[in-house]
């Protein structure tokens, strides 16, 4: 039979082990807190932001001519090519004038004939007048001579006028530039038969340009003269800043829009007749918050930014939904969701989680 001391010896050893483990557990240090992520921040401030709409504009010249012949005939010469700069009155094309020249020659011969008749009747009228005044001839003979003279003169004047008209029509067989400008496309060739419905070419004076912009009717009540317009290329680069100086009093039924015009003063190096550009009409400018594009994240179709907010003396990242407006350079205009003075986190947004500790870097 075991002694009492032998029974309690293992129990005492186990009890000592429990006490030692309990003492070790109480002495363990507390778990360290999460490390704050260093971030750049930007205090929200209000900046003037333009409220604008973008449309397609067509550049048109106030002086742009489509040249068509006023007579029928075959082209015998083309004295210019597409893109040439021409002077006012410069010959561009010629149409075979042979038929018209024949008509002119025939009419000139007719004029000479009428002139001979007039000369005879003029002399006869003068002779009969003297005889009548001397009492040698009767009044009837004198008046007949007078009437023959009047008829011959009227006939001669009419023939002369017809001849002058024939000569003027001969000028229609020479196509000249109506003013200084640039020749457009020439779809015809030497030898082609042309008529008054044939388009020969165009001549554009690439100055005094205007931007034609059609604005949807739902915004027509906001239109007024003087509104700012930015003309830009396809990359968004501003080509010219101008203002609306014309509002159409009626709606164009084909596009259901109101035509507005804005003068263009840029030289031919930037804009040309019939060129399509973007037109940004600025309706008004008002103070709005702006944030860098890199600070905006999108989740499920909603835009968010992270704000650095203080909680219990420390900064944490707080996700805030925002409503975005137009872009302003490399920033977004924010129409709702931010207040002036909010500290927007602008770096490391892909690493952030809502409520995560952050540490704004000095100077941000």
pLDDT in tens, 70-129: 999 999 999 999 989 999 999 999 999 999 999 999 999 999 999 999 999 999 999 999
**Max CA separation in the chain (angstroms):** 200
d(Cα 348, Cα 82) in Å, to the nearest integer?
57
Record the pTM. 0.57
Question: What is the model's pLDDT at position 162?
Answer: 94
CA 279/CA 53 separation, integer angstroms: 8
Q: Are strands 302-311 and 297-299 parallel, antiparallel or unpaired?
A: antiparallel
Give 173's DSSP letter: G
Separation between Cα atoms, residue 334 and residue 291, nearest integer Å: 7
Collapsed DSSP state (helix, strand, coil) of residue 271: coil
| Contact call for residues 304 and 340 (beta carbons, < 8 A) | no
- Per-residue pLDDT, 325: 86
What's residue 4's pLDDT? 40
Judge whether 318 and 280 are in contact, CB under 8 Å: no
Residue 34 is predicted with a pLDDT of 64
What is residue 216's DSSP assignment?
E
**pLDDT at residue 269 in the model:** 66
Rounded to whole angstroms, the Cα distance separating 241 from 229 reads 6
185 burial (CB, 10 Å; 0-12 / 13-18 / 19+) is exposed
Q: What single string gives the DSSP state of each residue in 23-73?
A: HHHHTPPPPPPPPPEEE-EEE--EEEEEEEEEEEEEEEESSEEEE--SS-E
What is the distance between the alpha carbons of residues 191 and 171, in angstroms, rounded to a whole number? 19
pLDDT tens per residue, range 1-20: 444 444 434 434 443 443 33
- The pLDDT assigned to 271 comes to 83
Q: Which of 60, 7, 24 is nearest to 211 (CA)?
A: 60
**Structure-block tokens of residue 348:** 């490391």
In order of 71, 103, 118, 173, 358, the CA distances from 162 in angstroms are 17, 10, 17, 18, 97
Predicted local confidence at residue 8, as pLDDT: 36
Which ranges constitute the DSSP H helices of the chain?
Answer: 4-26, 98-133, 139-170
**Ranges of the chain whose pLDDT falls below 70:** 1-34, 266-269, 364
pLDDT of residue 9: 44
Q: How far apart are CA 111 and CA 152, in angstroms?
A: 11
pLDDT number for residue 144:
94
Percent of the chain with pLDDT over 70: 89
pLDDT score at 205: 83
């Amino acid at each position: 039979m075991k002694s009492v001391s032998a029974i309690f010896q293992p129990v005492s050893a186990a009890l000592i082990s429990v006490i030692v483990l309990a003492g070790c557990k109480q002495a363990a240090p507390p778990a360290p807190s999460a490390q704050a992520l260093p971030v750049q921040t930007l205090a929200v401030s209000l900046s003037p932001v333009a409220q604008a709409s973008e449309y397609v504009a067509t550049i048109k010249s106030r002086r742009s001519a489509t040249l068509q012949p006023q007579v029928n005939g075959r082209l015998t010469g083309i004295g210019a090519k597409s893109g040439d700069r021409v002077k006012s009155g410069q010959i561009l094309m010629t149409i075979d004038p042979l038929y018209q020249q024949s008509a002119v020659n025939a009419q000139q011969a007719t004029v000479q004939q009428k002139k001979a008749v007039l000369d005879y009747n003029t002399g006869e009228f003068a002779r009969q007048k003297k005889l009548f005044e001397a009492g040698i001839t009767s009044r009837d003979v004198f008046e007949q001579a007078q009437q023959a003279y009047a008829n011959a003169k009227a006939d001669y004047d009419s023939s002369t006028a017809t001849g002058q008209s024939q000569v003027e029509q001969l000028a229609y067989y020479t196509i000249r530039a109506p003013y200084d400008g640039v020749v457009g496309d020439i779809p015809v060739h030497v030898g082609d038969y042309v008529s008054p419905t044939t388009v020969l070419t165009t001549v554009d004076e690439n100055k005094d340009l205007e931007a034609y912009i059609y604005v949807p009717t739902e915004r027509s009540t906001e239109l007024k003269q003087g509104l700012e317009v930015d003309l830009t290329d396809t990359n968004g680069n501003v080509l010219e800043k101008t203002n609306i100086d014309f509002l159409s009093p009626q709606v164009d039924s084909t596009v259901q829009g109101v035509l507005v015009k804005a003068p263009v003063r840029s030289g031919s190096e930037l804009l040309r007749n019939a060129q399509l550009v973007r037109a940004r009409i600025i309706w008004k400018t008002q103070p709005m918050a702006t944030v860098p594009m890199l600070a905006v994240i999108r989740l499920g179709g909603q835009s968010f930014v992270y704000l650095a907010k203080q909680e219990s003396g420390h900064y944490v990242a707080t996700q805030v939904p925002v409503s975005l407006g137009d872009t302003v350079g490399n920033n977004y205009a924010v129409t709702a969701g931010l207040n002036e003075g909010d500290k927007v986190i602008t770096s490391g947004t892909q690493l952030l989680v809502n409520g995560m500790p952050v540490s704004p870097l000095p100077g941000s």
